[in-house]
Amino acid sequence: MKIFSLNKSDLSKKIIQNFQSEEIDNQLKIDKFSDGEFCPFFKKSIRGEDIFIIADGHTSDDIIKLLLVIDASKRSGAKKINVIYPYVPYSRSDKMDSLRTTIGAKLLSDVLQVAGISNLICIDLHSESISGFYNIPVIHLSSGRIFIDYLKSLNIDNICFTAPDAGASKRNQRLAKAFYNSTNATINKTRNIPNEVAKMELIGTVKDKNVIIYDDMSDTFGTISKASKLIIENGALSVRAVITHGVLSEGSLENIANSCLTELIISDTVSMTYDKLKKYNTIQTKKPKITVISCSDILIKSIYSLITNNSISEINSI
């Protein structure tokens, strides 16, 4: 068994160090030509090995780099090629939302399988149905287990889990089961264009509640910012957002800083998060606290389960 990482993120380092694997520079080298093309190659033989590739980037370059490393692994005689993809890109494109558009999640699944992957380990796909796009085993982990201990340590009373849209309702209801006497609410929203909410309405009561918004990902945090304002206007005592994949795209830091959030809690699935949080600390305004919880533990346990052929039910339960 060998583990390789395509980006030197803190998450990758935690996983590699746990298995006492060699550093990435001693195993895998990825050259980049002046025209932007990548050329990966392995410095040591991987023939007959079960290998794990940690893919923690979501840009187009990151995807191409991953596909080339998978191809190099296959051509180098790897026995199994397991991809650890905590934040799978294009998950929002899981169906045709309009005429003459694409299903990006299906296309990505196709190219990963054609490239030669054997298993996929991921966290909180935007839609659980995406796992059905793959004809290989998909270990789809829930982030609920990552956040529960931290949320309980806050000792918050009168909790109301509020879904930012209808699609997140089931996710919030599952997490609510871990908190005695918690309640649920949902925000109904409509969009005219991507990343811009046209209308929001609250379904349920949040008055005198400490609200927790739980969702799989947030890009610009525009929805979360507007949702937190709506919730406070409806009498909530506080609002926290728990987001698995904090993408933090352009404009997101300002939206977070100017929101009604008490705290934003995210995981470390997106490799660029830490650099962007340094920028967040330079914004001169009253800002909500941002807490980062590592998902390395459940990923490490899922790797052990895969190599020992054990069940992941206990790891994935809330």
Span 253-288, pLDDT tens digits: 999 999 999 999 999 999 877 778 878 887 767 889
Q: Report the distance separating Cα 171 and Cα 168, nearest Å.
A: 5
Question: What pLDDT band is residue 197 in, cutting at 50, 70 and 90?
Answer: low
159-163 and 138-141 strand pairing? unpaired
Q: How many CB atoms lie within 10 A of CB 147?
A: 24
Burial 262-277 (b: 16+ CB within 10 A, else e): bebbbbbbbbbbeebe
Give pLDDT, residue 271: 82
Q: What is the mean pLDDT of the chain?
A: 91
Give pLDDT, residue 282: 79
Q: Enumerate the CATH 3.40.50.2020 domain ranges in the chain, comma separated.
A: 2-142+297-316, 144-294
CA nearest neighbour of 212 among 197, 227, 196, 234:
227
Give pLDDT, residue 23: 52
Arithmetic mean of pLDDT, 84-89? 96
189 is catalytic: yes
Total count of residues recorded for the chain: 318
- Cβ burial of 258 (10 Å; 0-12, 13-18, 19+) is middle
Which residue is catalytic, options 13, 189, 229, 287? Answer: 189
Q: Does domain 2-142+297-316 fall into CATH 1.10.3720.10?
A: no
Highest mean pLDDT among 110-119, 142-151, 263-272: 110-119
Separation in Å, CA 212 to CA 159, 183, 257, 268: 7, 10, 17, 19
Q: Is the pLDDT of residue 24 over 60?
A: no
Q: Enumerate residues 6+ apart whose C-beta is below 8 A from 69.
A: 4, 6, 28, 30, 40, 53
28-32 and 38-42 strand pairing? antiparallel
Please work out, in degrees rounded to the nearest 5, the angle formed at the alpha carbon of residue 232 by the alpha carbons of 226 and 238: 110
The model's pLDDT over 151-173, given as tens digits with 9 standing for 90+, comes to 999 999 999 999 998 888 999 99
Residues 53, 73: contact at Cβ < 8 Å?
A: yes
Q: Report the distance separating Cα 239 and Cα 231, nearest Å.
A: 7
Look up residue 267 and give its DSSP letter.
E
Residue 50: its H or E element? strand 50-54
Arithmetic mean of pLDDT, 93-97? 89
Architecture of domain 144-294: 3-Layer(aba) Sandwich (3.40)
Give pLDDT, residue 178: 93
Q: Report the distance separating Cα 106 and Cα 95, nearest Å.
A: 9
- Amino acid (one-letter) located at 260: C
